[in-house]
Every structure is written in structure tokens, then in C-alpha cells.
Amino acid sequence: MGKITNEELLRRLDEKFGGTVVQTGADFGLLTVETSVDAIIDVLSFLKNDEALNFIFLTDITAIHYPESEKPIGVIYHLHSLTTNTRIRVKVFMPLENVHIPTATTLWDGANWMERETYDFFGVIFDGHPDLRRILNVDDMTVFPMRREYPLEDPNRVDKKDYFFGR
């Protein structure tokens, strides 16, 4: 089976979901679509289970923080169709006060650790996740370090204070 073209992919998504799935880009030929929190599991499930599309491999789940935008926290899914060697990127954005999104562990068991990592660094709550706790950072960490409001540097460090450099 050959690679599915972006136009074909978009046409099928449009056919199924109407206006809830919109294209936001196709950088380097990788189709990027955006959808809503309510529709995300249906979209992922359709992409995975549709016989022609067959996006059975979940490459990655991650998140992003754009502090200036209206919906600053975004969750990003990368899917790969192994039978047609096609990839797609699905994004969902949500407001800071409600960072809940349904878990993808119902579709892929591999989503378990990816979602834990995304929670660990961005504080996104995956509803229905079997074991949502920190995975990489120390358990007693109180911040979500990849969010822009937290400084990247360790506050305990004293040897880089300004007065050492005459500032």
C-alpha cells in the first residue's frame, strides 16, 4: 500500500467529523490537524481503527505551553500508520484553568507512560488514566517544570548571583 496523501487524509477526516477537525499546517509534508478535547478520543479511535487509514502506532504524546494564547496548554499526538508509512500530528488546546483531557490508554497501552510524562512536565490531567503520577522528576516536586512560568534554573544555586560578576 502506498502513502496516503494529505488531501486524502483530510478529506476522510472531514467526511467523518465535519468541521471539528481542522488543518493547521503541513510542515515538511507532515499533516497537522487540530481538534477539541471532546472529540479527541473519537478522532484517535477513527484514525486507529479505520481499515484504510490504520494509524496503529502511537509514536508520541507530548505537550506545549504558549503562555500568551487564549488556550495556552496544548497536547500533541503523533501517529504512524505502519501499513502505509504515513504520519499525522493531532493537536488539542485547552485553557489553563481546565487542563483535563480523556486518556488515550483506552486505545494504546503505550500511552500510559507518555501521559505520565506529559503530566509530570506540563500538569495536564488525563482523565481515566490508571496511574497518573510523576515518572521522571522527583516525587516531591511541586511545579510542572516545562511550563513557562517556572524558571528553568535551579533556585538553590548561589554561585551565579549577580554580585559575583560586578552587576
Partner 1 sequence: MSDIQIVDVPAGVEGSGFFATSLDKAIGLARANSLWPLPFATSCCGIEFMATMGSHYDLSRFGAERLSFSPRQADLLMVMGTISKKMAPVLRQVYLQMAEPRWVMAVGACASSGGIFDTYSVLQGIDEVIPVDVYVPGCPPRPEAIIDGFMGIQQLVKTESLRRRNEPKYQELLAKYGIQ
Beta strands (DSSP E) in 66-145 are 73-81, 86-94, 100-102, 125-127
| Biggest alpha carbon–alpha carbon distance for the chain | 66
> Is residue 142 involved in binding partner 1 (CB under 8 A)?
no
CA 164 to chain centre: 41
Q: Is 18 in the site for partner 1 (CB under 8 A)?
A: no
Considering the complex, state which of residue 142 and residue 166 has its C-beta at the smaller distance from partner 1: 142
**Is the Cα torsion angle 115, 116, 118, 122 positive or negative in sign?**
positive
Stretch that binds partner 1, among 37-45, 49-57, 95-103, 138-146 (CB under 8 A): 138-146
Position 137 contacts partner 1 (CB under 8 A): yes
Minimum CB–partner distance for residue 130 and partner 1 (Å): 23
Residue 157 makes contact with partner 1 by CB under 8 A: yes
Q: Does an H or E element contain 48, and which?
A: helix 40-49
Q: Which residues of this protein are in contact with partner 1, per CB under 8 A?
A: 136-138, 141, 143, 145, 150-154, 156-157, 159-160
